Structure 1
Amino acid sequence: MIEANHMTKHELTGQDKGSQTCAASTQNADVTVIGAGVVGLANAIALQQAGFSVRVIDKQGVAAGASFGNAGHFATEQMFPLADPAMLFKLPGMLLDPLGPFRIQPRYFLKALPWFMRFLVNMLPARRAHNSAAIKALNQKSIQAWQQLVSECGCSELLKLEGSLLVFEQTPFIEVERVYKSYRDAGVAVKLLSGEEVRTLEPDLSPNINHGLWFTQVGHTPDPAELCHRLATQFEKLGGELVIAEVIQLAAECKGDNKEKGVNVSVASGVTYQSDKLLLSAGAWSKPLAQQLGFKVPLETERGYHLMMPQQSRLQRPVASFERKFIITPMNRGTCLAGTVEFGGLKAPLIEARADCLLPHAKALLPDVLASAKTSQGERWMGFRPSLPDSLPVLGASPKSDKIFFAFGHQHLGLSWAAFSAQLMAETIKGEEVTVDMTPYRIDRF
C-alpha cells in the first residue's frame, strides 16, 4: 500500500511509486471525498461541476474494491428491498448449502446477528413499502444520470443500453406471471417472453429456458474498472487531486469560538489534509469512520464473488437466472459470472469454491459457449458490498455538523445509483433544493 502519495495518474510504475514523497500539499480543498470507488468518483465529478475544488483520498486507489469486479449491471429494475418475507422459507436450505447463493460463515454468525434482526424488521409490510418507494426514487433517474456522466467523461461506449434478462428454467408459469406482474405493477418497463423469444434475443442461451423477463430500460458496462478509471481521468482533467492514503482519523477543525472551521483528515503516514467540507464515501470501510464522526451505523459487508471466464459469447445484455440466483454479463475481458451473498467480514480470505461454483450454473445457461470451460481458466475475485438492513444507502448531511456529508451503503446498487446519488449530494452540499426527498436516506434513521 502506498500512503499519502499524490497521484497525477491512476496507476504508477514501481519507479514512480518510489519517487513520490509523503509531504502533503498545503493547498486547502473545498471538499475532501474519502473513497475512489464508482460512488466516490461520481460524487467528486459532480462536486467539481458544482464549482468546488475536490480532493479524493483512497487507501488503495481507483476501483480497488467492489467497483472493480461487480456484475456491471445498472439494475434499475430492482425496485424491491432485499428484506423479502419470501426468503424466510428458503433461508434454512440456503444456509445449509456451503456453495449456495446465500451463506454466513459460522464464525461470523453471532457478529452478523444484530444486522439480521434489523433485516427481519424491514420485512414488515409498512417498512417494505417505505423502502421500496425510496429505492424507486433513486432508480427512476439513474440511467439518465449515467448517460449524462459518461458523455461528459467521453466514455459513452462503456454504457450499453440493451436491457437485461431474467430467465426461468423450471418455474411454473403461474409463478413467472406473478413475478412479471410484480415488476410491471412497480412501474418497471418489462416484457414477458417465451423460451423461443428469449433465444431470438440471445441465441447462445439454453433450450431449457422456458420463459424470460426482458427489462428493456436498463443497461450494463462491459468493463466496470475501466469505467472508474475514465471517471478518474475526468476528475483529474478538471483539476482534482487524487491521493492514495489510509485514513485513520477524521476531526472537525474548530475556531477559537468553538465553531467548526473545516475538517482534518489524518492518514497513516502522519500527514493531515484540510478541507472546508468532507464527504464520506468509503463503501464497506465507511462504518468505523462514521463512528469517529459520532454515528453508529448498522452496515455489514456482503462478500460478492465473480469468476471471469475468457470465453466470449454472443450475449448482448446481462442474463440473470431466477432459480440459480446468479448473473452472466458479457464484458470486454470475457464472460463474467457473478452472484452469491456471503457474510464473513472484511478480514476473511477469498474462498475459491464460492467463485468456482458459478461455472456449473453458467454452463447450464450457455452450454455451447462454456461446454469445455474449466475454473482454472477463470479469474476469481471477491469484493465487499456495503449493505444496510433496509437496502437503502446513507445519503445526506450530518445532523451534527454542516461540514460533514455521507454517501455510502449502496449495497447491490452502487454502480446503478452512483451517478444520480452524486447529483443529489452535489445539490445538498451546495445548499440547493434537492430534487428527491432525502429523509429516507439520513444517517440517523437507525
Structure 2
Amino acid sequence: MGAGIVGLSTAWFLQERGVDVTVVDREGVGAGASWGNAGWIAPALAIPLNQPAVLRYGLASLLNPTAPLRISPKPDVGRARFLAKFASNCRHAKAREVVRANLPMNEECFEAFDVLTGNGVDVPRTETAITALFRDGRDADVLRHELADMRAEGQQIDVTELTGDALREQVPLAGPAATVGLAVENQRFVDPGRFVTALGDAVVERGASLHRFRVVDIAKHHDGVMVKGSGGEFLIAGAAVVATGAWLPGLTRRWRRTWVEAGRGYSFTVPTERPVLGPIYLPTVRVACTPYQGGLRVAGTMEFRDADDPVVPARVRAIASSAATMLDGVRWDEMRDVWVGPRPVSADGLPYIGELGDRVYVAGGHGMWGFAHGPITGRLLTEQITTGKQPEALAPFDPHRSGR
C-alpha cells in the first residue's frame, strides 16, 4: 500500500526475491511526497529535524504565517499531542541517536539506488557537491556545527569552504548577499518524479498489478491478510506492507500507534538567466534548490497541516521571497509547477520500518529523507519479510520500539 518511492522500492526488491506483488495507491504512482521534492540523495545532509534549535525556531515562528516552519492554527487534538511528543524529543542526545541510527542507511543508500538504475530504472543520476550559501561566516557556523556533530557520530562528510570568485564560479546564481559557501562534496541528485515513474513502470513490467483505490482497513484472513477499500474493493494476500507516508496512522493503529504527521513541503520551478551547475542549499531559510528541466526547482517549508489541504499561495510566495534574498538571475515571476506534498514526519525523528504483526509490515515516517532512504528501506524490509529475521540496521526503526 503506497506507490511512492518507499512502497515501490519495497515492491521491486520483493520481486527480486521471487515474490508476487500487488501495489495499491489511492491516486497512482508518485502522487504524494515522492514527486515534487528536491531529488537529493544526500546522506551527508541527513541532519535530524528533532534538535533544540528547531524547537526554539518553531516556537518563535508560531505567529509568523510566512516562516519556514509553520503550524496550522486550526485546533487539532491529535496534532497537538504529536507536537508535544515531538518537542519532548528535541534534545541533543536524541538527535545524536537519530544520526547513529541513520548511519547504515546513509552508507548503503547510493548502492541501493545503483541496483535500481542498473536493472531497469533508467534515470540519470548526477554526482555533485551541494553548496550551502550564507551571508557571513557566523551564519555558516550553524551548519558547520551540525555537520561536525554528524561527523563525530561516524558520518563521512567532506566539505569545501568557498568565498569570493571561487564561490561564484561554483554557484553562478549566488547573489551579492551570499559571501560564504559550504560545498558538501560527493552527493547526488535525480529528477524525483521521473525516477519514481520509471520505478513504477519497472515494477509493473516485472509482473506487478497496480490498483487505484483508497485503503480503509487491513484485516487478518486465514493465513494472510485482507486489504479493504473505501468503495468495497478488497484484495487478499500472504502479507501486506503499509507504505502510505503521512497517512500511516490510520492503517496501523490496530497494531500500534505510529506518531506520524504531515510535514508538508512546497516546490515550484523557475527559469534562470545563469547556469545551474548543481544543487544549492539555503539553510537559514530552509530552502533547497536543484537543477530541473532547464531551470531551477525550489523546494522548502515545513508546514504541519492536514495532508490533503490545498496549496496555500502565501507559503509559495514566502519561499520565493526568502530565496530571492540569496540568489540572483532567477525569474521569479515566471514560476510554474507549483506543488505541495505531505512528508511523513515522526515524533522521535526515526521512521517506522518492520513487522507490526499478523503478517503486516510498515515502512514510513522518514521525514525529509524518504527519497534518499526509500530504496535502502525497501531492500532491508524485503530481507526481513522473506527471511523472517530483522536486519541489524532496522533495529532502531522497529515499529514496536516504544511498546505495543
Q: Same fold (TM over 0.5)?
A: yes
Deviations 1:38-91 (A, max 9, x none): 111111101000110100000100111111111111131234321111234333
CA-CA distance at 1:132 after TM superposition: 1.9
Quote the RMSD (CA, aligned, Å): 2.1
Map of 1:163 onto structure 2: 129
Deviations 1:168-212 (A, max 9, x none): 113427826534533443433222312233222222322432222
- Over alpha carbons, which structure has the higher Rg? 1
Using the alignment, how far apart are the partners of 1:70 and 1:406 within structure 2?
22
The answer to whether the 8 A contact 2:354-2:361 is kept is yes
Q: Pick from 275, 280, 300: which aligns with 1:314?
A: 275
Judging changes above 3 Å, is the alpha-carbon distance between structure 1 residues 309 and 119 closer, same or farther for their aligned structure 2 residues? same
Q: Pick from 2, 7, 19: which aligns with 1:52?
A: 19
For the pair 1:181 / 2:148, whether they are aligned, the reply is yes
Map of 2:336 onto structure 1: 378
Map of 2:393 onto structure 1: 437
The residue type equivalent to 2:210 in the other structure is: L
* Matched position secondary structure for 2:160: strand
Map of 1:251 onto structure 2: 219
Q: Pick from 375, 383, 387: which aligns with 2:345?
A: 387
* Matched position secondary structure for 2:141: helix
Map of 1:73 onto structure 2: 40
The answer to whether the 8 A contact 1:253-1:264 is kept is yes
CA-CA distance at 1:110 after TM superposition: 4.5
Judging changes above 3 Å, is the alpha-carbon distance between structure 1 residues 97 and 173 closer, same or farther for their aligned structure 2 residues? closer
The residue type equivalent to 1:332 in the other structure is: Q
Deviations 1:192-248 (A, max 9, x none): 312233222222322432222222122111x21111110011111111111111112
Unaligned runs of at least 5 residues, structure 2: none
Alignment of 1:91-106 (within 5 A): 91-106=58-73
The answer to whether the 8 A contact 1:184-1:190 is kept is no
Using the alignment, how far apart are the partners of 1:331 and 1:365 within structure 2?
19
Q: Pick from 296, 305, 309: which aligns with 1:348?
A: 309
The answer to whether the 8 A contact 2:248-2:258 is kept is no
Using the alignment, how far apart are the partners of 1:353 and 1:344 within structure 2?
14
Judging changes above 3 Å, is the alpha-carbon distance between structure 1 residues 163 and 147 closer, same or farther for their aligned structure 2 residues? farther
Moved more, 424-433 or 232-241: 424-433
The answer to whether the 8 A contact 2:9-2:199 is kept is yes
Moved over 6 A (4+): none
For the pair 1:288 / 2:250, whether they are aligned, the reply is yes
The residue type equivalent to 2:231 in the other structure is: S
For the pair 1:85 / 2:52, whether they are aligned, the reply is yes
Map of 1:30 onto structure 2: none
* Matched position secondary structure for 2:10: helix
The answer to whether the 8 A contact 2:47-2:150 is kept is no
The answer to whether the 8 A contact 1:303-1:382 is kept is yes
TM-score, structure 2 normalization: 0.92
The answer to whether the 8 A contact 2:271-2:330 is kept is no
Deviations 1:366-402 (A, max 9, x none): 31233xx316x3232111011101111110112x32x
The answer to whether the 8 A contact 1:169-1:208 is kept is yes
* Matched position secondary structure for 2:128: coil
* Matched position secondary structure for 1:412: helix
Using the alignment, how far apart are the partners of 1:418 and 1:424 within structure 2?
10
CA-CA distance at 1:308 after TM superposition: 1.9
Alignment of 1:20-419 (within 5 A): 34-108=1-75, 110-157=77-124, 159-172=125-138, 175=141, 177-186=144-153, 187-196=155-164, 197-221=166-190, 223-254=191-222, 261-291=223-253, 293-311=254-272, 313-332=274-293, 334-370=295-331, 373-374=332-333, 377-398=335-356, 400-401=357-358, 403-419=359-375
Using the alignment, how far apart are the partners of 1:110 and 1:262 within structure 2?
35
Using the alignment, how far apart are the partners of 1:312 and 1:269 within structure 2?
50
Percent of aligned positions with the same letter in both sequences? 26
Unaligned runs of at least 5 residues, structure 1: 1-33, 255-260
Judging changes above 3 Å, is the alpha-carbon distance between structure 1 residues 395 and 312 closer, same or farther for their aligned structure 2 residues? farther
Judging changes above 3 Å, is the alpha-carbon distance between structure 1 residues 218 and 435 closer, same or farther for their aligned structure 2 residues? farther
CA-CA distance at 1:431 after TM superposition: 0.9
The answer to whether the 8 A contact 2:225-2:238 is kept is yes
Using the alignment, how far apart are the partners of 2:69 and 2:263 within structure 1?
10
Using the alignment, how far apart are the partners of 1:331 and 1:90 within structure 2?
30
The answer to whether the 8 A contact 2:217-2:251 is kept is yes
Using the alignment, how far apart are the partners of 1:162 and 1:70 within structure 2?
18
CA-CA distance at 1:111 after TM superposition: 3.8
Judging changes above 3 Å, is the alpha-carbon distance between structure 1 residues 194 and 311 closer, same or farther for their aligned structure 2 residues? closer
The residue type equivalent to 2:365 in the other structure is: G
The answer to whether the 8 A contact 1:424-1:436 is kept is no
Using the alignment, how far apart are the partners of 2:33 and 2:176 within structure 1?
33
